[in-house]
């Protein structure tokens, strides 16, 4: 049935005419069938999470504490070796050719906060956290080409040979994962990571295996590209999913939000690609040309102007922007290392708090910097202010209710006295 459906579509006059036009222009027709997204992993890949029933695990508290201590020590040793590899890596601030592709970062979307420029303008920024990023794997183009079908398409493309660099983020408990998943981190000498992301990197910008990646891999003022999954809205109707108008408000029964007719009588079928109700969101989307306005080095947080795909807590891939006007001309190659840090004598911090080490755009923000203006320290103050406003709102509501109850009681007493006086007057007349 599926083969006959595809044959009927490809042999239709419309497709034949379009195929002639595309063939004349040197193009080809590609038809896609199936779902737009897959919510479950492919069956041929090995499982990642270790599913062990709780009833079969009989570990005492002492043994569990010992295992946690051993895992913590192993993570500390792995982090020490990774930092040593970072110090040994050869890096410098150099010009970046247009053909070079640097590695990116796996970041977590925290939320959005406004920033104010020195002219008083308001900028809505997205906060992205760089959570314990390490280089987990470096695959050569030849090995990648032989290993997977994706490598056959991307290893040798129009930009030349590309290395696949795998970056892991967020340290996790290794007991929750299978041995096959843990082996790749053991080979790299880094702790087990929760999320992995792959980037196409040229040979002149290859990082070392196990090297940690810092938020200063990007610079303030440069433009980046963010890739991630959009917000998962679940099953939605045509009005929410596609913005359809819906049916008339009057003279309609149970069809106000329906999409209406979906096909003509002549064709007697629904053509592929028809906009209908279905699963909305959770698709890969890329937003390019986002400006970095601030970097908090202590918290490893990047402030990006504008919005990025995904809900709060989602992981995204952040890399250099490839637009010619917004491309990074000079920066750390292949990535930032502690050897590039300039040691400056910082003034003593005030008693009321410590100012986090931060980099911000001189073009947008003032040179002066205070604790009260820092967004990360401003969050508790903002929450406290919101709680105070909520308490005031509840007090006003209680006061309005008390006034209403007083007025209601006065009105009831007035009505009662009026009715009593009318009744007494009626008795005297009788």
Distance CA 304, CA 218 (A): 11
Q: What is the dihedral of CA 368, 370, 373, 376, to 10 degrees?
A: 120
Per the CB < 8 A criterion, the answer to whether 360 and 220 are in contact is: yes
Distance CA 256, CA 260 (A): 9
Pairing verdict, β 212-213 and 133-139 = antiparallel
Residue 164 in tokens: 């696949």
The pLDDT value recorded for residue 55 is: 54
The pLDDT value recorded for residue 228 is: 96
Distance CA 376, CA 369 (A): 13
Which one, of 93, 164, 162, 96, lies nearest residue 327 by Cα?
Answer: 96
The pLDDT value recorded for residue 406 is: 74
Distance CA 74, CA 189 (A): 10
Q: Which DSSP helix (H) or strand (E) runs through 183?
A: helix 179-188
pTM beyond 0.75: the answer is no
CB neighbour class for 304 (10 Å; exposed up to 12, middle 13-18, buried from 19): buried
Per CATH, domain 64-235+279-342+354-369 is 2.40.37.20: no
Distance CA 238, CA 322 (A): 35
Per-residue pLDDT of the chain in tens (430 residues, 90 and over written 9) = 343 433 444 444 444 433 333 444 444 555 556 667 777 777 877 788 877 665 556 677 888 788 888 888 887 777 776 677 666 677 788 899 999 999 999 999 999 999 988 888 899 999 999 999 999 999 999 999 999 999 999 999 998 999 999 999 999 988 889 988 999 999 998 999 999 999 999 999 999 999 999 999 999 999 999 999 999 999 999 999 999 999 999 999 999 999 999 988 888 899 888 999 999 999 999 999 999 999 999 999 999 999 999 999 999 999 999 999 999 999 999 998 887 776 444 444 444 444 457 777 777 777 654 434 444 444 555 666 777 788 777 777 777 666 677 778 778 888 888 888 888 877 777 6
Distance CA 193, CA 282 (A): 22
Distance CA 151, CA 145 (A): 4
Residue with tokens 């982090």: 79
The pLDDT value recorded for residue 371 is: 38
Which one, of 111, 119, 187, lies nearest residue 382 by Cα?
Answer: 111
Percent of the chain as helix, strand, coil, to the nearest 5: 35, 25, 40
């Amino acid at each position: 049935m599926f083969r006959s459906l595809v044959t009927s579509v490809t042999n239709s006059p419309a497709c034949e005419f379009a195929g002639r036009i595309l063939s004349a222009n040197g193009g080809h027709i590609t038809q896609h069938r199936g779902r737009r997204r897959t919510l479950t992993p492919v069956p041929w890949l090995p499982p990642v999470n270790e599913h062990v029933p709780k009833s079969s695990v009989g570990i005492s508290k002492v043994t569990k504490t010992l295992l946690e201590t051993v895992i913590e020590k192993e993570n500390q040793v792995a982090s020490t070796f990774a930092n040593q590899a970072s110090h040994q890596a050869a890096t410098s601030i150099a010009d970046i050719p247009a053909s070079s592709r640097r590695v990116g970062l796996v970041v977590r979307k925290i939320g959005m906060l406004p920033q104010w420029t020195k002219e008083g303008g308001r900028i809505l920024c997205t906060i992205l956290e760089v959570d314990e990023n390490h280089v987990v794997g470096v695959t050569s183009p030849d090995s990648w080409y032989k290993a997977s079908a994706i490598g056959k398409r991307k290893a040798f493309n129009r930009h030349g040979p590309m290395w696949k660099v795998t970056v892991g983020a967020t340290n996790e408990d290794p007991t929750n994962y299978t041995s096959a998943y843990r082996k790749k981190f053991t080979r790299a000498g880094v702790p087990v990571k929760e999320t992995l992301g792959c980037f196409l990197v040229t040979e002149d910008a290859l990082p070392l295996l196990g090297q940690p990646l810092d938020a200063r891999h990007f610079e303030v003022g440069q433009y980046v590209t963010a890739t991630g999954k959009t917000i998962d809205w679940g099953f939605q109707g045509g009005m929410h999913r596609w913005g359809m108008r819906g049916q008339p408000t009057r003279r309609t029964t149970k069809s106000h939000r329906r999409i209406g007719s979906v096909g003509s009588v002549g064709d007697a079928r629904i053509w592929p690609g028809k906009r209908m109700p279905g699963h909305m969101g959770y698709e890969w989307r890329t937003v390019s040309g986002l400006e970095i306005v601030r970097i908090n080095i202590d918290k490893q947080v990047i402030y990006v102007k504008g919005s990025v795909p995904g809900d709060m807590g989602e992981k995204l891939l952040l890399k250099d922007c490839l637009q010619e006007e917004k491309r990074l001309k000079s920066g750390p190659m292949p990535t930032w290392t502690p050897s590039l840090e300039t040691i400056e004598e910082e003034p003593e911090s005030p008693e009321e708090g410590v100012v986090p080490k931060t980099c911000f755009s001189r073009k947008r923000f003032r040179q002066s910097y205070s604790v009260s203006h820092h967004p990360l320290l401003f969050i508790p103050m903002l929450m406290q202010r919101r709680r105070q406003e909520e308490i005031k709102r509840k007090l006003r509501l209680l006061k309005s209710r008390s006034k209403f109850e007083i007025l209601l009681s006065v009105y009831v007493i007035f009505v009662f006295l009026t009715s009593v006086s009318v009744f007494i007057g009626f008795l005297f007349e009788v």
